[in-house]
Amino acid sequence: MRSYYVKRFFSAIFTILIIATITFFLMRMIPGGPFTRERQVPDEILAALNARYNLDDPLFIQYLNYMKGLVTFDLGPSFRILGYSVNDLIREGFPTSAKIGILATILIVSVGIPVGIISALKQNSPIDYFVMFMATLGVTLPSFVIATFIIYFFAGQLGWIPSNGLNSPLAYIGPTIALSGYSLSFVARLTRSSMLEVLRQDYVRTARANGISEFKVIGKHALKNALIPVITYIGPMIAAILTGSFVIEKVFALPGMGGYFVESVTNRDYTVIIGMTVFYAAFYIIMVFLVDIAYSMIDPRIKLSS
Amino acid sequence: MANKDFEFISREEKLDSEQTRRSLTYWQDVWRRLKKNRLAMIGLIGVIIIVLFGILGPIFTPYKYSDQVLDFSNLPPRFDIYNIADDEYIFLTKEYRVLETTSKGELISRIDNIHKDQVNKIYYFAKEYEVTLEANTVGNYTPTETLGANAVYSTKWGIALEDSTNAAGVIAQIVYIHPNSPFQGVLMEGDSFDIQSNQNLTEIMLLADPNSTSSASTLIEGRMGSQAVIDALEANNGVEYFVVGDPQIEVNFSYKLMDPEDRPAGYEDVLITVTYEGKELTEKSDTVSNSTYLWGTDSLGRDILTRVMYGARISLAVAFVATIVNFIIGITYGSISGYKGGGVDNFMMRVVDIINSIPLTLYVILLMVVLRDVVIDVTLFGRYFVIFKGGSGLGTIIFALGSVYWVGMARLVRGQILGLKEQEYVLAARTIGVSTTKIITRHLVPNAMGPIIVSMTMMIPSAVFTEAFLSFIGLGVSAPQASWGTLANDALSGLTTYPYQLFFPAAAIAVTMLAFNFLGDGLRDALDPRLRKG
Amino acid sequence: MAEQKKKILEVKNLQTSFYTHLGEVQAVRGVSYDLFEGEVLGIVGESGSGKSVSALSIMRLIEEPGVIKEGSSIIFDGVDITELDNKEMSEYRGNDIAMIFQDPMTSLNPVYSIKNQMVEVIRRHTDMNPEEALKRAKELLGMVGIPDPEQQIHDYPHQFSGGMRQRALIATAISCNPKLLIADEPTTALDVTIQAQIIELLKKLQEEIGMTIILITHDLGVIAELSTHVIVMYGGMMMEKGTVEDIFYNPQHPYTKGLHKSIPKVGEKNKERLVPIEGSPPDLMAPPAGCPFSPRCPHAMKICLEKPAPLFEVSESQVSACWLQDDDAPDVAGYKKYKGAK
């Protein structure tokens, strides 16, 4: 079993390296290079810039240099924001993104799962219909619509929360809700349908036939099984939160990593794009790896399929 | 009598008495179950309406998506009108432009603004009649932009940046105009003007802003008016005024500032009173729907309804084509992998695993970044061919979405094929020598079609979602074309003042998502009753 | 003789329906029988005959949208359990009445160990502490023939084979010495060799503890092996009831006869062809007005289509619901007439 985790760990590292390679060569496919702008830069200056960033080396050498940097966790300098390295940008932006992301995850788990369970137990009741209505709305509205609605209504019309920045505890409410909206709704729906599915299972009937109290039938026998697909979803959910933060940080004007990433995309700041993609991918892969471990702890059947 | 009951009956009579239901084919049965599902039918009708809206809608509108009428910019779908004379109505926009309308809310024209007196808060309009507009306003704007040392700004109206000083005077550039500013429409962001020499079209003076801490700060102020008014003003204020243009009759519009704390509950930022020929029309005459632009206009005076219709074309085209591309790649890849099995399957699924191991949106962003700049060309036999041209067009988005999202479909198809290929009829087909391609296309894929169709139905809304997301972060189609995401993004800056500009594209996205989700859920239930939720 | 035994269960006019969005599905339509201590009652019938639903009704495990209709009564040990609320009923389940199900593969919770699931049930109905409960669980596993209970009790269900799982389920079911064990197709999902082992196990339990069992199956072989009494069900109704000898040697209902003819008999000298019963079971959404079997019956009469037959008393121990037993009916070879419809 330990060898399974070791195997998964090395395959994660391998995947990160492949992603870094693909991203590197994709970026190098772009004609011109990072210093091509609307205004023509004189050739001498261009050459100097290229030399400064070692862009005049053969592609393969550049690749090796990049990979060397990657292994030592050095993602190189930004071509557009002078004096900043990609590491600096991540160091500056990641804490903000992480704070909102963690809050959103807590909200999703602590609200989405209980609401889904209640909805399943009260199937076809007004509560169930209300929860399903909200959850359906949540998965159909893009996060930027939810975010702008929060800003317009709660920050603008009611004035309850600030519309941007993170200067007060209240300011966290808007971005957290907007960021968790989709996944929260999805988790509630998933928990509900999974709970309904589990409640129809033979082993739940067996538990009832053995006289187990209804509270234990649901809280012990049904819940643990119903959570298995929910835990499986948490992997992709991290992706939704990561990419959702691009939009949320833009709408709420937060100084997070997503903002820098989107900016680097519009500015074509290639090292930042590559660096942040690799960072995001690595982060995602590690999180999914952790989710997998949690998953194998809940479901005893998983260990067999290593 | 009793004996008669005990007569044996024939086989036919027995069969007649047997109540059997008509047997249906699989797809008839699916359709029957789907028809019973009310939400799914709502979804289906919704999908049809949205598609018709995108395809046929633009035929019925008199505007093109790129038609701009700057005089009619930022108009809401409903507005208040004031009756100032027989059959003459005006509508005062949030930017203090006065528009002449009919009682039914049709826009006629803009009444030119010929003079603004900021000191006395009086506006002058050129028209055969006189209008006095009085507004209590609370300008409350906190700038978020970082301002340099030379910045000049007014918290009420906007920001001007001191650019340079020359012999003639100070050149300033306007970098931001508050939506409530009376200068909206007269001054544009990016306008430069010479402060002292007054050589611009609009006469502009900078007055000291009492709120500013910067010594160089000044408040921008513009004045226009007829000679008679200006004379009067000069007499009152001792300030020098200039004449611009050839105004006919003066109309004024006066203005009071109000402290936010003193604002009565329920009052909007601007309270408007209209006076006409000395008679005060404090009550608006009516609130009418905008009959010229049903859903209002955007910041460049383009019809939002038309743009949302064109947006539907783009968003749906992207979604449908990307889904078809996914379908083709996914089915080919998945069925080969599933049918071949063994090493081939192992390798193909490893590739899918790697692609799946990072968020797909990230790939799409990367591809978009690369593709919009890539041109693949060759020169063959002295001729120049462009094989692939990137750019921020539809093709790029479709290519990016299509080349990434097939992995889910491939996995699904593979799973289905793996299960189906063990079935006896496949074995039977193989024993009589049916070719692999035929087994896949005739036997396996048609039997896996149910889940594939459900997955495709669900892929369309997620493609709409992703496209909107890409457009929102600035990777969408290029102006003046616009998808729903672009429209939503454009509306963002004016959100507090013009929320309807966001409402319509956002509602279009949400309705599309809902319709496809309902339909997809219904299809899944109908195709596989065992999966039925509850 | 029967009078001396204690009556454990009395089912009177049991009617269970499912109210689906397509209409009412009348799964059980008026079934009555008595069950005495130590008897093994086999309920036989094809899929959809209502045999499983009638058993689940006794456990009160009919789930939404199913309802035990007014007028039904199930008197267990002197108490009408249709009157109990769910909490009171759960005191009975697993304790006085236990049940094992058709599919052992899915009847154990996959995420808890066998130990966890067994100890939970034992502690629910007894005052044992965890150690005592664990000891008891191991004893029970040994009793049902799990080779190494000390070790295997810690295993998870997926580590057990189908036969072992069914053994574990039986062990759990008998853990609190229930007065009545309901076995719903306990062998259907198992391999033939395992089936025989499970039947042996049930037989052993019945002989050793003298347990009262309701055995639900579509397999007449299993019935012959284990039962003392048999009920034949069709279309939600009881067709024939009697001792196992009555049903096997003197069947008086065309459906029971049809069942016998459709089963191969090993070692039988005269090479009779197997005769299938023509047609298919009735649609329970709109059951025939008369006898549910009439559309498929070789001797159907006019009255059969109009009115369900009453129970005709064939002998002291046997009743049959067939109009052929009526005095007015024409004579058919193999069917006798009996007076006194109940």
Beta carbons of C225 and C244 less than 8 angstroms apart: no
Contact: A243, B472; criterion CB under 8 Å: no
pLDDT attached to residue B212:
33
**Beta strand extents in chain A (DSSP E only):** none
* Rounded alpha-carbon distances, angstroms, from residue B1 to B5, B6, C302, C303: 7, 9, 12, 11
Q: Confirm if C235 and C282 have CB atoms less than 8 A apart.
A: yes
Residue-wise pLDDT for C228-282, tens only, equals 999 999 988 999 999 999 999 888 898 998 888 887 776 656 566 777 777 777 7
Chain C contact for B1 (CB, 8 A cutoff): no
| Average confidence (pLDDT) over A203-219 | 91
- The more confident residue out of B260 and A206 is A206
Task: Please answer yes or no on whether A253 and B144 come within 8 Å at the CB atom.
Answer: yes
Residue ranges per structural domain of chain A: 93-298
**For the purposes of burial, counting CB atoms within 10 Å of the CB of B507, is it exposed (0-12), middle (13-18) or buried (19 or more)?**
middle
Lowest mean pLDDT among A228-232, A260-264, B126-130, C73-77: B126-130
Q: At what angle do helices B500-527 and B26-36 cross, to 10 degrees?
A: 130
CB C49 within 8 A of CB C256: no
pLDDT of B265 > 50? The answer is: no
Share of chain C above pLDDT 70, in %: 95
* Max Cα distance, chain C (Å): 68
Pairwise CB contact (< 8 Å): C156 & A298 = no
Chain C interface includes B5 (CB < 8 A): yes
* Nearest CA distance, B526 vs chain C (angstrom): 15
Q: Where is pLDDT greater, at B96 or A270?
A: A270
Query: Of B362, B498, B512, which to mutate for an interface test with A (greatest number of A Cβ within 10 Å)?
Result: B362
Average pLDDT over residues B171-186: 51
Average pLDDT, chain B: 68
Check residues A42 and A5 and name the one with the higher pLDDT: A5
Mean pLDDT of B159-188: 50
* Lookup: tokens for B281: 């029309």
Which residue from C103, C112, C121 is facing A210, i.e. has the nearest CB?
A: C121
Residue of C nearest to A224 (CA): C111
Which tokens hold the place of A226? 């119903």
**Which residues in B lie closer than 8 A to residue A268 (C-beta atoms)?**
369, 373
Q: What is the pTM of this model?
A: 0.75
Specify the CATH architecture of the domain A93-298: Orthogonal Bundle (1.10)
Between the alpha carbon of residue A206 and those of residues A281, C54, C56, C184, the distances in Å are: 44, 17, 11, 12
Distance from CA of C14 to the nearest CA of B (A): 24
Mean pLDDT for B141-160 is 36
Question: Which tens digit of pLDDT belongs to each residue from A25-38?
Answer: 887 777 656 665 55
pLDDT class of B480 with cuts at 50, 70, 90: confident
Average pLDDT of chain A?
83
B431: Cβ–Cβ under 8 A, 6 or more apart, which residues? none
In DSSP terms, C73 is beta-bridged to C12
**β partners of residue A77:** A85
Q: Given CB atoms, is C154 within the 8 Å cutoff of chain A?
A: no
User: In chain B, what residues touch A156 (CB-CB under 8 Å)?
Assistant: 495-496
pLDDT (tens digit, 9 = 90+) per residue, B490-516? Answer: 887 777 678 888 888 888 888 898 898
- How confident is residue B250, by pLDDT bands cut at 50, 70 and 90? very low
CB contact under 8 A, A208 and C103: no
Give ipTM to 2 decimals.
0.84
Amino acid at B472: F
Q: Is the pLDDT of residue B457 over 70?
A: yes
Report the SS3 class of residue B269: coil
Residue B465 and residue A32: Cα distance in Å, rounded?
Answer: 32
Beta strands in B335-477 (DSSP E): 375-380, 383-389
The answer to whether A239 contacts B359, with C-beta atoms less than 8 Å apart, is: yes
pLDDT confidence bin for A191, thresholds 50/70/90? very high
Residues of B in contact with C304 (CB under 8 A): 9
Q: How many residues does chain B have?
A: 534
B21 vs C283: CB contact, 8 Å cut-off? yes
Q: Where are the domains of chain B?
A: 26-62+301-531, 78-125+248-289, 128-243
Residue type, B354: I
Which positions 16-55 of B are in contact with C (Cβ < 8 Å)? 17-21, 36
Nearest CA distance, B529 vs chain C (angstrom): 14
User: Residues, chain C, total?
Assistant: 342
* pLDDT of B119 above 80: no
Listed in sequence order, the DSSP H helices in chain C are 51-59, 86-92, 104-107, 114-125, 130-143, 149-152, 162-173, 192-209, 220-226, 244-249, 254-261, 302-306
Interface partners of chain B (CB pairs < 8 Å, 3 or more) are A, C
Contacts of residue C111, defined as CB under 8 A and 6 or more positions apart, other chains included, come to: A224, A225, A228, A298, A299, A300, C156
> In this model, does residue C66 exceed pLDDT 50?
yes
Q: What is the pLDDT of residue B162?
A: 46
Contact between B291 and B72 (Cβ < 8 Å) = no
Span of A211-220, C216-225, C264-273 with lowest mean pLDDT: C264-273
Tokens in use for B507? Answer: 């509602």
3-class secondary structure, B240: coil
Give the whole-angstrom CA distance, residue B500 versus residue B511.
Answer: 16
Bigger pLDDT: B408 vs B156: B408
What 8-state DSSP symbol labels residue C329?
S
> Is the separation of the CB atoms in B173 and B153 below 8 Å?
no
CATH 1.20.120.920 fits B26-62+301-531, yes or no: no
For A106-128, how does the pLDDT look when each residue is reduced to its tens digit (9 = 90+)? 999 999 999 999 999 988 889 99
With an 8 Å Cβ cutoff, are C125 and A211 in contact? yes
Question: Could you tell me the pLDDT band of residue A145, with boundaries at 50, 70 and 90?
Answer: confident
**Which residues between 79 and 138 in chain C have a beta carbon less than 8 angstroms from any beta carbon of chain A?**
86-87, 90-95, 98-99, 101, 103, 106-113, 120-121, 124-125
Strands B253-257 and B132-137 come out as parallel
Chains in contact with A via at least 3 Cβ–Cβ pairs below 8 Å: B, C
What distance in Å separates the CA atoms of residue C159 and residue A301, rounded to the nearest whole number? Answer: 9
Q: Distance (Å) from the C-alpha of residue A221 to the closest C-alpha of chain C?
A: 7
Residue of B nearest to A268 (CA): B369
Q: How far, in Å, CA of B106 to CA of B293, rounded? A: 8
Candidate from A152-166, A241-255, B506-520 with smallest mean pLDDT: A152-166
CA distance B217 to B200: 21
Interface test with A, best of B367, B473, B521, B528 (most A CBs within 10 A): B473
Sheet of C237-243, strand order: C97-100, C180-184, C212-217, C40-44, C229-234, C237-243, C319-320, C312-313
Q: From the DSSP assignment, how many helices (H) and strands (E) are in chain A?
A: 13, 0
The secondary structure of residue C307, as a DSSP letter, is: S
* Pairwise CB contact (< 8 Å): C283 & B19: yes
pLDDT in tens, A123-141: 888 999 999 889 888 888 8
B35: Cβ contacts below 8 Å, ≥ 6 apart: B41
- Chain C contacts of A211, Cβ < 8 Å? 90-95, 121, 124-125
- Across the interface, whether the CB atoms of A265 and B374 are under 8 A apart is answered no
| CA B9 centroid distance within chain | 72
